[in-house]
Structure 1
C-alpha cells in the first residue's frame, strides 16, 4: 500500500563527505523532544553527480532534506521553487517536500547566523569584519545585511577573492570594503568579527586579540575552541561558535520539515555538545 504524506516521514542530510555531520544527532533529538516517534533522520553520502538519481528515487514518505557541501548549489535545478533568502546567495541547504509533491528550497544558514548572534545579544552593529572569502563568507555577508548598519571589511588573500566579496556586497546591498589578509589583526578591533576560514587559519591572530574584545563569531565547531576563540573568551569577549550556527539553522529546518514550533534549541545544543565531546 502506498505511503501517504500523513504517515511516518523521513528526512536526511546529504553531502560528501558526510560521516562527520552532526545533523542526525540534532534532528533526532528534536524529534524525540517533540514526541515525533514515527520520524526518522539519516545521512547519505551523495556527491553532485549522484544527486539527480537520488532525488528520482524519493517517495511520498519524504518530508525534507538537509544539504551540505558540495550540494548547496547543485540542488537548485532539481527544485520547483527556492526562497528569496536562498536565491540571494545561490545556495540551498534545506529542501521541504509538500503534500502535493513540490520541492521547495530554502537557506536556513543565514537566519541561523542572525539567530545565533541575537542569542548573544548582538542585534545590530555599526560595522563588522569578515575573515576569509569562501562559500561561508557570502552567507555571512547576507546575515550581516540584517545586522550591520555600516561598513563590512573583508580580509582576503587575493585580488580575485577581493573582487568576489565586493560583488557579493553589491548583490546583497552590503557596503563591503576589502583589505589584505596581512592586515587581518586590524579586524579584531571591530564591534563584530566573523571568522569563516578553515581550521588553523586564524591561529596566528590570537596573539593580537585586544584587551577588551567585543564579539567573535567563529563558524568552526570541530575542533573547538579554536585558538582565536579561546584567547577571545579568556579576555572576556563574547564568542558565538559554529555549533551555535549549526543548532539554529537545524532548528529552522526541523520547524519547516515537521510543521512543529518551536523546536527545542537547548536540547539540540546539549546533544551536539555531547556528540562533539565523544569524538
Structure 2
C-alpha cells in the first residue's frame, strides 16, 4: 500500500491547485487569487506565505518550484483517487473538487491510503485483461532501490518511418549501447555515453512537464532526467519499458576535407529503455 503523507492544509491545497492552472507566463497576484477562490486577500496572502515557507512556490512571483511540482504530482494522484470515489457515490460533478480537497487534507493518511487501494483494485476490475500500466512523471526514487544500474538502450528513428516497421537511427552508432541508470533523490537520471570521434554531440532537446528542455553533454557523457521518460509496466514479466522522444543535435564534417567545414544536423529519435523490474527493484543487481 502506498505511504501517504499530506503536506498541505485544505486552504493551501485549494490555492495551490488554482496556481497550477494558471499559465506559466501570467502574472499572479494575491488579489486575483482571492477573487477566484472567493476568499479574503488576507487569508490568501497567509496561505501564499505558508506555501513559500514550504518552498512549494517562489516568495514574490508565486511560481511553482521544483519541490512544489513533486508535491503536486503526489497529492494529485491521491486527490484524483478521492474524486473517483466521490464519482462512484453518484455525487454531482461540481461537488467533486471541494469535497476532495476536504477529504484529502482533513482526514487521516490511513483513510487516503485505503481509498488509493480501492481505486487500484477498481481499475484492475474494470480491465481484467489488462497486461500493462502506463506511468509518467516519476523518478522511481523510493520504488527502485537507490544506486546505479547498467541498462541496454535503443535509439529508434522517428524520421521517414511508417507502419509497423522500425529502424534504428544513425545516432545508434555514435552512442554506446549501454547506459547507466541512476536512482537518487531528485537526481534520478539516465547517462548516455558518446563514443564517436568523427561526429560531435551538441546536445539533446526534449519535453518535460510541457516545456522544451535542452541538455548539453559534459565531456562524452550526457544526462537525461528520468522524470522526462514515460514508462509502461508489464507485471507479467516484471518489466518496465521507458521511452522518450528527443532531438539529437550534432556537428559533423561537411565532406570537404580541405576546409574542415562542420555542418549542424538534427535527428529525431525515440530513446527506448527496457528495464527488468525484478532486477532493479528486488535483487538490485547494480552496475559498476
Both proteins in one fold, TM over 0.5 = no
Using structure 1 for the length normalisation, give the TM-score: 0.23
More strand by share: 2
Using structure 2 for the length normalisation, give the TM-score: 0.23
Whose radius of gyration is greater, 1 or 2? 2
